[in-house]
Amino acid sequence: MTDVAPLLAAVAGAALGLAADRLSVRWPAHEQGYRPRGIDWRTLVVVAAGAAIFGALVVRWSEPRELAILLVFAAALVVLLATDLDQKMLPDLVTLPLVGLAGVVLLLGWSPLLADREMALLSGLGAGVGAPLLLLLSDRLLGGDLGGGDVKLAAAIGLLAGASRMFAGFLGASLGFALVLLVLMAAGRVGRRTAVPFGPVLVGTAFIAMLVH
């Protein structure tokens, strides 16, 4: 890997983030009469996320097939981050293919995140089924507003990452998201009853799972 490869990957990720943000203001279809927003804080978040994950993946992974799988997965996650921040929506057109991709990669034994596991298939299947069920159960008990897209994305991440990596990623992403919410509440940008999307937590979970050793 050349020294410039992570920089080029970060630039590509930033470009993808910008394209995903501009896509999210038009797709999926908004309510009638909606006027597409301009570039704002959501644009900056998605661009920064795309640059960070693409650059970090190129640093972390070097084997071509492993890197290709994770870059495709990351690209879809950047698009989902953009749509969730703009519309609080994780479209089936992206989440369902991710579930399929993660399942195929798991069955073929190609998952980079499970390559060192003795029971990789069991770990992937367990997380792919268990994580959505736990989210649904906790959502019902706490009276949350978990969407179908969140459940499908959790299944895709579980199939790709396995139980231990997904747990580590979810813990880190949840703590980070909680800190962001506290800052926004202190700044008066959100209130206790403000609806916030859960997608960014799941996207963060996947990003962390892809990068931890």
Segment 107-166, tens digit of pLDDT:
999 999 998 788 999 999 999 999 999 999 988 887 777 889 999 999 999 999 999 999
Contact status, residue 164 vs residue 208, Cβ threshold 8 Å: no
Our count of domains for the chain comes to: 1
Q: How far apart are CA 56 and CA 157, in angstroms?
A: 18
Count of residues making up the chain: 213
Return the DSSP state at 63: S
Supply the pTM of this predicted model: 0.94
Q: Please give the structure tokens belonging to residue 108.
A: 């073929």
Contact status, residue 161 vs residue 106, Cβ threshold 8 Å: no
Q: Which long-range contacts (CB under 8 A, 24 or more apart) does 137-145 make?
A: 145/195
191 pLDDT higher than 60: yes
Q: How far apart are CA 119 and CA 122, in angstroms?
A: 5
Among 57-61, 66-70, 125-129, 135-139, the range scoring the smallest mean pLDDT is 135-139
Instruction: Give the Cβ contact number of residue 35 at 10 Å.
Output: 7
- How far does Cα 119 stand from its chain's mean position? 24
- % of the chain residues with pLDDT over 90: 77
Contact status, residue 96 vs residue 152, Cβ threshold 8 Å: yes
Strands (E), the chain: none
Residue 182: domain span: 5-211
Residue 187 is predicted with a pLDDT of 75
